[in-house]
A and B are shown apart, each in its own frame.
Chain A
Amino acid sequence: MPQPIVTFDDVSMTFPNGTVALSDVDITIDRGEFIALLGPSGCGKSTLLRLASGLEASTGGRTTVDTRQIGYVFQDATLLPWRTVRKNVALFAELDHLTAEETRTRVDHALGVVGLTEFQGHRPHQLSGGMRMRVSLARALVNRPELFLFDEPFGALDEFTRERLNDDVRNLFVRERFTGVFVTHSIPEAVYMATRVIVMGARPGRVIGEFAVPFGDERGEEVRYSSEFAELAAEISHCLKGAMA
C-alpha cells in the first residue's frame, strides 16, 4: 500500500503581480519515490518545492506534507562564508538545538557520506564549486530527511562534475531511502535520476504528462546509453513540444 508523503491538491499560485505560476496542480508523491519535475522555466516547478518546504503558501488548493524532516538543496551552495565546512554542515542541528553529542554524530556521518571529512576545517572559498555543493548536500543530510527537495541543484556546474554529483545523489537515495523531488530542465537528467518523471508546461504552470521510469536502482552507463532510455527521452520530448506548440 503506497503511502503518500506529499500531496498537492488542486494547488494554484498567483503572484501579487498577477502572474499565474501554478494552475490546478494535482500531484501525489509516495514514500520511496524519486520524482523529477521537468519543464521549461516559468512552469512553476521550483514553486512546488517552495510550497512543499513551507517557504511559501499557495493562493489556492491544499499542500499536505507528511513529515517534518525535510532536506532542501538550492541551486547555489548557499554556504555561510565565515563558517568552516564542519560548522556549515552543523547549521541545521544548531538551529534545531540538538545536543552536542547528537550534532557530532550526525555531522560526522554527513561529512563521511559526501567524502569531505578531510576538508571539514576549510572555508567555502577554499573549495571548488562541486565540493561546495557537496557541503550543501551534507548540510541537508543532517536533518535526516525523509523528503529531499533538490531545486536544480547542480545547474551551475560543468557537465562532468554535475554527472558525478547526480550519481552521488542516486547512491544516497538507494542507501538512505528518502523520497526525492528533483527539479530540472534536462530530459536525460530527469530520466536518469527519477523513478517517475512529471512533465510540466508553462503559462500557466500545470502538469502535462507523467512517465514511469522502468529502470531499477542500478543506473550507470548501460542505462544512460540504452535504447529504452533514448525512447523514453524521445517520448517526454514529444510531450513537452506538444505543450509548447
Chain B
Amino acid sequence: MTAGVGTPVPRRPRTGRRSLTVILPIAFALVFIALWYVTSAFLLSPSRQFILPMPHEVLIDAFLTPKNLFALLGPLWTSTVIAMVGLAIATAIGVVTAVLMSQAKWVEITLFPYAVALQSIPILAIVPLIAFAIGYGFESRILVVVLISLFPIITNTLFGLQSTSPQMRELFTLKRASRWTVLTKLQFPAALPALFTGLRISAGMAVVGSIVADFFFRKGDSGIGLVIDTYRNQLNGEMLYGAIILASLLGLVAFWVFGLLGRLFVGSWYRPDGR
C-alpha cells in the first residue's frame, strides 16, 4: 500500500464527504423515481394513470421517439432564443442603468424605487396590457423576459460598481484620473463578479419568463410553454412530462452556463472571501 503513504490524516474525512455529496443526491433521485413508479402503478386508478405516466413511458415516448423528440426540441430552441435575446437586452439596459446610478447619486435616488417596483409587479397582471399595446408576437414575449430579468442585473451591477474601497479610489485621485478612467479601470472590473452573479440569476428568470410568455403570446413559432399547454389540453401525459423536463433542463443549463462564463472571466482573480 503505497497510496496511503504521506496522505495527511485530515484529508480522509473530506474525501468521504465529497463522495457523500455525490451519493446522497443520486440516492434521493432513485427514491424519487421509485415513489413515482409506486404512485403511478398502485395509487392511481387505471383511468387516471395519464396524470402520471411511468418514467420509462415518458422516456420512450418523448425522448426516444425521434418524431416526438423533434416536436419538443423545435419549441425548446424557440424559447431559448427568446430567453437569450431578452436577457441580452436586459443586460444592456441593466448595466447602463447601473453605471448611470453609480455616476450620479440623484439618478440612483430617482430610479431605484422603480427598479424595486418593477421587481414586485406581478408579471401576469400586466400581460393584458402588453397584449393591448404591442400585440401577441415575439416582441411581447421578449418584453416579458426583459421585465422579469432586469432587476437582478441592475442591483448586482450597481452593488459591484460601488464595492471599491475609498483607498482604491484615492489611488486614482492621486493622479487626478477622470471619471471615465475610474469607471473603466477600477469600477467596472471590480463589478464583474457581481455582474456575473446577477446574470446567472437573471438567466434562470429569463427562461421562466420566456415559458410564461408562451402561454399568452401565441403568435409565431411556438415555444416550449405553448407546447406544454397543448399537451395538457390533449391529456397527453408522456409528452407533457417530457416537455416539462426539457424546460426545467433549459433553466438549469442557463444557470450553469452563466456560472461557467463568470468563472471563465473572473475566476483567475476573484476570491469570494475578499482576499
Q: Does A234 reach chain B (CB closer than 8 Å)?
A: no
Within 8 A of B (CB), among A90-144: 91-92, 94-96, 123-125
Q: Does A243 reach chain B (CB closer than 8 Å)?
A: no
Interface contact B269-A55, CB-CB below 8 Å: no
Interface contact B173-A78, CB-CB below 8 Å: no
Task: List, in ascending order, chain A residues with CB within 8 A of B173's CB.
Answer: 55
Q: Tell me which of A8-16, A22-30, A69-77, A162-170 binds B.
A: A69-77
Query: When A55-B173, A82-B266 are in contact, do A74 and B189 touch as well, CB less than 8 Å?
Result: no
How far is A55 from B172 in the complex, measured between Cα atoms in Å? Answer: 10
Task: List, in ascending order, chain A residues with CB within 8 A of B271's CB.
Answer: 81, 125
Q: Is the interface of B mostly helix, strand, loop or mixed?
A: helix
Q: Does A54 reach chain B (CB closer than 8 Å)?
A: yes
Interface contact B270-A81, CB-CB below 8 Å: yes
Name A92's contact: one of B167, B175, B181, B192 (CB within 8 Å).
B175
Q: A34 to chain B: closest CB distance in Å?
A: 21
Query: When A74-B167, A125-B275 are in contact, do A81 and B269 touch as well, CB less than 8 Å?
Result: yes
Q: Does B15 reach chain A (CB closer than 8 Å)?
A: no
Q: Mark A52-89, 1 if CB is under 8 A from B, else 0.
A: 01110000000000000010101010101111000000
Task: List, in ascending order, chain B residues with CB within 8 A of A72's CB.
Answer: 174
Residue of A nearest to B270 (CB): A81
How far is A94 from B175 in the complex, measured between Cα atoms in Å? Answer: 10
Q: A160 to chain B: closest CB distance in Å?
A: 21
Q: A46 to chain B: closest CB distance in Å?
A: 12
Interface contact B186-A95, CB-CB below 8 Å: no
Task: List, in ascending order, chain B residues with CB within 8 A of A76's CB.
Answer: 167
Name A125's contact: one of B165, B185, B269 (CB within 8 Å).
B269
How far is A55 from B185 in the complex, measured between Cα atoms in Å? Answer: 19
The size of the chain B interface, using a CB distance under 8 A, is 22
Task: List, in ascending order, chain B residues with CB within 8 A of A80's CB.
Answer: 168, 186, 189-190
Interface contact A78-B165, CB-CB below 8 Å: yes
Interface contact A91-B171, CB-CB below 8 Å: yes
Name B171's contact: one of A78, A81, A96, A123 (CB within 8 Å).
A78
Q: Does B57 reach chain A (CB closer than 8 Å)?
A: no
How far is A123 from B189 in the complex, measured between Cα atoms in Å? Answer: 14
Q: A137 to chain B: closest CB distance in Å?
A: 14
Q: Mark B165-189, 1 if CB is under 8 A from A, else 0.
A: 1011011111101000100011001
Residue of B nearest to A54 (CB): B174
How far is A76 from B168 in the complex, measured between Cα atoms in Å? Answer: 10
Task: List, in ascending order, chain B residues with CB within 8 A of A70's CB.
Answer: 174
Name B's A-contacting residues (CB within 8 A). Answer: 165, 167-168, 170-175, 177, 181, 185-186, 189-190, 192, 266, 268-271, 275
22 A-B residue pairs with CB within 8 Å: A54-B174, A55-B174, A72-B174, A74-B167, A78-B168, A80-B190, A81-B275, A82-B189, A82-B266, A82-B270, A83-B269, A91-B171, A92-B175, A94-B185, A95-B175, A95-B177, A95-B185, A96-B175, A123-B269, A125-B269, A125-B271, A125-B275
